[in-house]
Amino acid sequence: MARLDLDREMVKALLEAVRLSESVKPSQDAKRRAFKKYGFLGGKRDPLLTAVFYGVMLRLGIHDNAIRELDGVEPYILDPWLRAALRLLLEIVQFRDPSRRTFRYLRNTVASMLSAKTHPYVGMYYTRLYDRIITTGYRYKPKTSMEELEYKYLLPAWYVEKVRELLGNVEADKLLRSLSSKLPLSVRVNTLKTSVEKVISELEKEVGRVERSSVVPTILRFHGPYNFEKSTLWKKGYIIIQDEAAAVAPLILNPKPGEVVVDLAAAPGGKTQFMAELMKNKGIIYAFDISRERIRRMREILRRTGVGIVKIYNEDARKAPDILGENIADKVLLDAPCSSDGTIMKNPDLRWRLRWEKVVELQKLQLELLEAGWKILKPSGRILYCTCSMLREENEDVISMFLEKHPKAQLVKLEKPYSPGFIEGTRRAWPHKHRTIGFFYALIVKQ
């Protein structure tokens, strides 16, 4: 393998991307923003820098353990720029083969940048730690069984144990290892504006081989990098960034032209757009979300793709029955807020933000949203509950509690796609089995 040879601007772009990743989510948006600023986005150096960036994200928890060992402090009390610099340094020193030039820029350029962004003392502090790491040949090694688990799977130890409880050690090992791999890019063709065949023809000219999904025929996969901001297909609304498992949800719910549909956690709008597409842009979709920024992105997606049947509410979806009334919807989609652990392959830094306490909080919210969806659903109407979580607590356990409370709620038995869930009639997409993000689906009819 060639040595990692970075120039001054490349080091600065990486440091800024790692720093931004703490405040800009998902982390690939932070990467794109920083790489664009320094002129690397979509260029020949983009793949190399992306590999280093994702390496940092993949091993955030490992690097933080090393910072604790080196400095005796919790990383999150450090200045954010210093924290980002140490994470980048540890990634390159311990997991790459840096050239002498790279070492020089990692010391001097980063120290100067820290001094300028924060305070000269921060730059001096970093330099002392840099010299200590380099002169001693420091390498982090796990000290406890918990740290060994985290080092092996690059995941929090509690999460590893949860997955083992769910799947058993052998199957869990396959899943956990798969979460450190990278999925190809995935887009869905907008048939309101074009055809799959036309998009494949254009994409192949840009990226080479394009694979068409056998599960969702409008989903296309290909290997990046791909600059969507410069893509004519994307600008014209011919393609939408969406994973296959996410696109399956609207297909299961199957909204029809002329129906009243409610999307209870809609932004940034990929599934909302697909439902409008399935409805031939006829009917009405009421879309709820609490995030102004995500709603801004949803409006842009809907505008670009030619959708005109969506009424957006910047409101907590638990208020939907008060806003819309009860028994008004033919179909309800609840892609519930969740831990999102099923998307770790796309968002590698997410793994280190997983907290068991948060899962418990989310389960309560998921049940409350499901209750709201139930109230607005007409008799004989259908509600699809889905998440991009793989934890039973956010999926089958929520459905079990809901069904126990509502005698008129009945699961519609799903025969496909993917694998059966842990309650008969539900389905699950698994990253290690289906080459997609993790997803759960439960379709309920109001008798």
Tokens for 118, please give them. Answer: 């924060």
Quickly list DSSP for 171-200: HHHHHHHHTTS-PPEEEEE-TTT--HHHHH
Assess whether 386 carries a catalytic annotation: no
User: Do 189 and 216 touch, CB atoms closer than 8 A?
Assistant: no
Closest CA to 200 of 310, 209, 129, 74: 209
Residue 382's contacts (CB-CB under 8 Å, 6 or more residues apart) are 253, 330, 331, 332, 412, 443, 444, 445, 446
Per annotation, catalytic residue among 388, 390, 398, 414:
388
Query: Which of 180, 239, 178, 176 shows the shortest CA–CA distance to 207?
Result: 239
DSSP conformation class of 258 = T
Q: What residues have CB less than 8 Å from 370, skipping those under 6 apart?
A: 334, 336, 383, 385, 398, 402
Residue with tokens 């995500």: 294
Q: Provide the token pair at 355.
A: 């907290």
3-state secondary structure of 218: coil
Enzyme catalytic residues? 388
